[in-house]
A and B are shown apart, each in its own frame.
Chain A
Amino acid sequence: MGELKQIRFCGFGGQGVVLAGTILGYAAIKDGKWVSGSNSYGAQARGGSARSEVVISDDPIKFPHVIESDILVALSQSAYDIYIKNVARKGALAIYDDLLVKPSHLRGVQQIGVPATNTAIHQLESKQATNMVMLGASVAITRIVNRQALISSTIENVAERFRGVNVKALEVGFKLGEHI
């Protein structure tokens, strides 16, 4: 059996958590992986905490939801507080926005703060690009997908007029991730 990784993005509705998950999932398909993805849906996605799950595997995926996340990416405190309780018992990694999340101390979980919001505001002059900075940083840290696959997935998943800023945000995120 090959490797299976469970990734969960979480944050407020409107932060682009669902888009980040979709882009990551499609990038993994470009890498030749099996992928299942699901999002929070309905009333829970409006205003409250949003969640996007991606399961990436070398083999066909039996159960398509995240059971416990190997990688948690958090863009809000309230979502972090919920989903940090559901990380893998061994080798889990939590990546959080260092402006929006104050991590709790947990044994056995490696936690990495990324200045995604700050970077998006100061380098890209777009707070809306935070999700893509975070996605880029997360991929640089975890190498869960190929960077070129991630860029081409982004180009195919966002409207033409937003492609430039999204790809730039990814590249800025890659650099952030490399230096952490």
Chain B
Amino acid sequence: MTSREIGGTLSPGFYYFSGNEAVAEGAITAGCRYYAGYPITPSSEIMERISIRFKDVDGVFMQMEDEIASICSVIGAVWAGAKAMTATSGPGFSLMQEAIGYATLTETPLVIVDIQRAGPGTGQATRVASGDLMQAKWGSHGDYQTISLCPWSVQEMYGQTIDAFNLAERYRVPVFVMGEEAIGHLRERMEAKPTVEIFDRAKKPGAPPFGTNQDDGVPPMPAFGEGERLLVTGSTHNEFGIRKTDDAVVHANLVTRINNKILKHRESIIKTEPYYLDDAEIIVVAYGFTARSSLFAVDRLRKEGKKVGLLRLKTIWPFADRIIHQIGRVAKKMFVPEMNRGQVRGEIMKYVGCDVIPYNQTDGDIIHPHEIMKQVRSLL
């Protein structure tokens, strides 16, 4: 990780960006210079701003014929040496799943921003949900690990997009920024700091690009045109990229390593934020926009003397299993408000023994703080 001035991309200072505009600026700040996408509500402002701002930084912007072409084009650009991304919403994210699997097995670092809207299907394009979290975890076939971040503000849409590129490059893995319509279209004060931490992919000429000595290692990544022999395949391959579709040991080692390189480093990837947890009897667990409503509600309930706390998940995958397990031992109950049918609540239940009360709202609207206050009061 090196500290770098952001000059030439965005002047340091305060802005009044929408969440989607902040994603575009975060990508440019992180060094993204290739974007391929297909417009879809409610994410389109990301590609719109990228298409304008890439002129300032000599980036390459492509509007593709669909989302499958978009993600495949991004994979190609990454192997040509670029930092690259695409952005979409649920229906487009569905189309990208096959190529996401290809990216995990070829260890291709890239960023996908999913501005979630009410699904399934075409659903309600302009309305909010957070229903794609399990898709981010399990959307492609086979056993693999990726990283998913969950911003709750415009500032984090900017900051977590930068984080997403750094994590993708560090672990050679697709990273998803799981935004929501309500954050994508929110405008807020956003600060661009003068310097930013950036990770560039490791290079080691001559070293095998698809294997290391450690079972959780991340190999260096050459690009086409750098003079190395380079084979990239979505089939099982050895450390030099040579197909080994009938070798049990190679396959087992490869799948183990691409899982372990994330899972064994999860404590440094997972980010959570605790509020009032010390003596809390009821703990709200929330993420994204719903965590904003939850913090407001928990704050009010504390002022009334209620022993309520909040754990905010800044990352969703890999899951914050250890801290959830710890707080589950002291909480009497947990309360999980979600703009889906209980996707994260189900995950929490794997790690705790206490009651985990769901509040699921799938009407295309945000969960209001007063609803959370009402629900939590009924549990006290």
* CB <8 Å contact, B16 and A62: no
Taking the closest CB of chain A, its distance from the CB of B202, in whole angstroms, is 37
Number of A-B contacts (CB under 8 A): 55
* CB <8 Å contact, B369 and A36: no
**CB-CB nearest in chain B for A21:** B187
Cα-based distance from A65 to B371 in the complex (angstroms): 14
- For the residues of A in contact with B, the DSSP-based class is mixed
In the assembled complex, A11 has its CB within 8 A of some CB on chain B: no
**If the complex has contacts A29-B14, A37-B16, are A62 and B187 also in contact, measured as CB distance less than 8 A?**
no
Taking the closest CB of chain B, its distance from the CB of A4, in whole angstroms, is 11
Name A64's contact: one of B14, B41, B292 (CB within 8 Å). Answer: B292
* CB <8 Å contact, B189 and A34: yes
Give chain B interface residues in 1-26, CB to chain A under 8 Å: 14-16
* CB <8 Å contact, B186 and A36: yes
Q: Which residues of B contact A67 (CB under 8 A)?
A: 369-370
Interface-located stretch among B57-65, B133-141, B193-201, B293-301: B293-301
The count of residues in chain B whose C-beta lies closer than 8 Å to any C-beta of chain A is: 24
Name B185's contact: one of A38, A61, A62 (CB within 8 Å). Answer: A38
Q: Which residues of A contact B185 (CB under 8 A)?
A: 38-39, 41
- For the residues of B in contact with A, the DSSP-based class is mixed
Q: Which residues of A contact B293 (CB under 8 A)?
A: 63
Name A38's contact: one of B15, B16, B125, B187 (CB within 8 Å). Answer: B187
**If the complex has contacts A37-B16, A63-B293, A63-B369, are A22 and B187 also in contact, measured as CB distance less than 8 A?**
yes
Categorize the interface residue count of chain A.
Answer: 20 to 34
* CB <8 Å contact, A42 and B125: yes
**CB-CB nearest in chain B for A157:** B16
Q: Which of B14, B125, B127, B189 has the most chain A CB within a 10 Å cutoff?
A: B189
Give chain B interface residues in 116-150, CB to chain A under 8 Å: 125-127
Taking the closest CB of chain B, its distance from the CB of A26, in whole angstroms, is 4
Name B16's contact: one of A29, A39, A63, A65 (CB within 8 Å). Answer: A29
Cα-based distance from A87 to B204 in the complex (angstroms): 63
Chosen A-B contacts, 28 in total, with CB atoms closer than 8 Å, are A22-B16, A22-B187, A25-B187, A33-B189, A34-B188, A35-B16, A35-B188, A36-B187, A36-B188, A37-B186, A37-B187, A39-B185, A41-B42, A41-B126, A42-B41, A42-B126, A42-B127, A61-B188, A62-B292, A62-B295, A62-B296, A62-B299, A63-B292, A63-B293, A63-B296, A64-B153, A64-B186, A67-B369
Residues on A facing B (Cβ under 8 Å): 22, 25-26, 29, 33-39, 41-43, 61-65, 67
